[in-house]
């Protein structure tokens, strides 16, 4: 503020104010000038804050747009979506796999759970504790 006036100019203004207003009303004039300066400073701060907030909001909007564009054009999500589509079209990947006896894993697990009896020449899969005789301990 004082860059506009040099100290000699400020001194001349104070002397003129003292002569024009008088020594009795000079403190009241300075108090009013201080209030006006405070109001002007407050308004400038409000303007600066609102300007900063608008700038911040536009930056946030730009970032949101960039994030949306990245979500839409993300090659990783495209790859994941294509994998999900391929996987959903396959069905059960274990359905075509058979063990040596010609059974699928689901049929084998059904046999383990008390399903159909094994065919001729096949052994039933049992738990080791059930298969061991009661009088003989199981060796570890």
pLDDT above 80 for 22:
yes
Domain extents in the chain = 30-70
Average pLDDT over residues 96-123: 57
Average pLDDT over residues 23-51: 94
- Tens digits of residue pLDDT in 50-95: 999 999 999 999 999 998 888 888 766 667 777 777 666 555 555 5
Q: Which residues, 6+ apart, have CB-to-CB distance to 104 below 8 Å?
A: 94, 95, 97, 98
The span from the first CA to the last CA of the chain, in angstroms, equals 94
Q: Which residue has the tokens 């400020």?
A: 10
> Is the pTM here over 0.85, yes or no?
no
Contact 40, 48 (CB under 8 A): no
65/87 Cα distance (integer angstroms):
32
């Amino acid at each position: 503020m004082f860059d506009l006036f040099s100290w000699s100019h400020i001194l001349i203004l104070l002397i003129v104010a003292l002569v024009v207003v008088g020594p009795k009303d000079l403190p009241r004039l300075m108090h009013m000038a201080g209030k006006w300066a405070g109001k002007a400073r407050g308004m400038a701060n409000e303007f600066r804050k609102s300007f900063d907030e608008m700038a911040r909001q536009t930056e946030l909007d730009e970032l949101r747009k960039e994030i949306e564009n990245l979500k839409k054009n993300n090659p990783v999500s495209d790859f994941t979506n294509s994998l999900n589509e391929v996987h959903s079209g396959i069905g059960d990947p274990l359905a075509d796999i058979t063990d040596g006896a010609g059974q699928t894993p689901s049929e084998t697990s059904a046999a383990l759970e008390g399903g159909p009896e094994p065919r001729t020449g096949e052994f039933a899969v049992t738990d080791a504790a059930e298969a061991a005789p009661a009088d003989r301990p199981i060796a570890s």
